[in-house]
Amino acid sequence: MKAEELLSELEAAPVVAILRRPRVEVELSVRALLEAGVRFIEITVDSPECLPFLESGAGKFKGAVIGAGTVTTPELADQAIQAGARFLVTPNYSPEVIRIARAHEIPIFPGAMTPTEIFSAYQAGGDVIKVFPAATLGSAYFKELRGPFPGIPLMATGGITVDNAADFFAAGATALGVGSTLNLKDGTPGSIAACQESARKLLAAKRG
């Protein structure tokens, strides 16, 4: 997926669900999220299911863009890409990991916090910069960033909820990375329905 295509897809569905050591089968979570309109799904590499799922199951979900998160080293980047990750997400700014992604033409969302890190990560080849921890920094931080960096795509990650999502979009976030709010507590119909309701509200927050 090229950068232009990635940004177009994110514009249409600007929520990235983060599955970190999920409590239920990854397939069940992916199916529930897709039905609610969430297309970008990040499975963190510290989850035992991550690489096996990327290798065997990720390709069978039409419309899903499934990637690997918490990619901290070039070795993990190589493993995730070989397994079939369609994008990578890092918790920090790592030029080496960005170079691996660029070499394989895989979109990457490098993590950053300060203006220097954000600019450096974008200059190094990051497609969308993951600003973390977003809720701690506050939505006003994103509004301030838009002054010097109007053209850098930013994904607010960390502490994003249904209640604050609209504030981050209004402040200039391109997308939201959402973890616990979009993780199934179990496989019951009630848990699935609650997850899907949150997903729809998060997506609707962009539309205001």
Catalytic residue among 11, 25, 96, 130: 130
Euclidean distance between CA atoms 80 and 87, whole angstroms: 9
Catalytic residue among 9, 25, 35, 42: 42
60 is catalytic: no
Q: What string of H, E and C letters represents the secondary structure of the chain? A: CCHHHHHHHHHHCCEEEEECCCCCCHHHHHHHHHHCCCCEEEEECCCCCHHHHHHHCHHHCCCCEEEEECCCCHHHHHHHHHHCCCCEECCCCCHHHHHHHHHCCCCEECEECCHHHHHHHHHCCCCCEEECCHHHHCHHHHHHHCCCCCCCCEEEECCCCCCCHHHHHHCCCCEEEECHHHCCCCCCHHHHHHHHHHHHHHHHHHHC
130 is catalytic: yes
> Up-side HSE of residue 20: CA atoms within 13 Å toward CB?
13
Catalytic residues: 42, 130
